[in-house]
Amino acid sequence: MIRYAKRVLTAFSILLNVILGGRSNQTFSATQYQRKRNGKKNIVWLIDKIFFLNVDHCLDAWVKWKIIHTSIRHFDRLGENFFDLNMKQYYEMVDDGSDYQDKRTGPTTLNEVHKLLSRPVKHKA
């Protein structure tokens, strides 16, 4: 029940932030910390007092958002660079010695792409 309540409060914080003109998927606390970093007016001190059990609550929220935002952008770029679903082609980055180039290789159907992405991955120990 506590996890559910935290998720609801986080969702409310994101909604409040967007209504007030903040970035999507960013909590109000993370936005306030970004404003502090940019030298703008902020209420980090007040939010951190409210969440006194979580030392540096706004900093923590901003770091979490930065990690998530960076990951989303990274995977969006991967999708743009490696998969052309209209052409149903898979792209592989190939090092030609001077720079990385896109090279059309691999599966040509969505089913083949799915098989490729579903294969087990062996991790190095």
Do 61 and 68 meet the contact criterion of CB atoms below 8 Å apart? no
Give the integer Cα–Cα distance in Å for 11 and 15.
6
> How open is the CA angle 43-47-48, to the nearest 5 degrees?
115
- Residue 103 DSSP SS3: strand
Q: What is the pLDDT of residue 47?
A: 95
Rounded average pLDDT per 10-residue block, the chain, 125 residues: 91 95 92 94 95 89 88 68 52 48 55 65 55
Do 9 and 27 meet the contact criterion of CB atoms below 8 Å apart? no
At CB < 8 A and 24+ separation, what contacts does 73-80 make? none
- pTM higher than 0.75: no
Domain boundaries along the sequence of the chain: 2-75, 85-118
Q: What is the pLDDT of residue 100?
A: 46
Backbone angles phi and psi of 108, in degrees to 5 = -120, 0
Do 47 and 16 meet the contact criterion of CB atoms below 8 Å apart? no
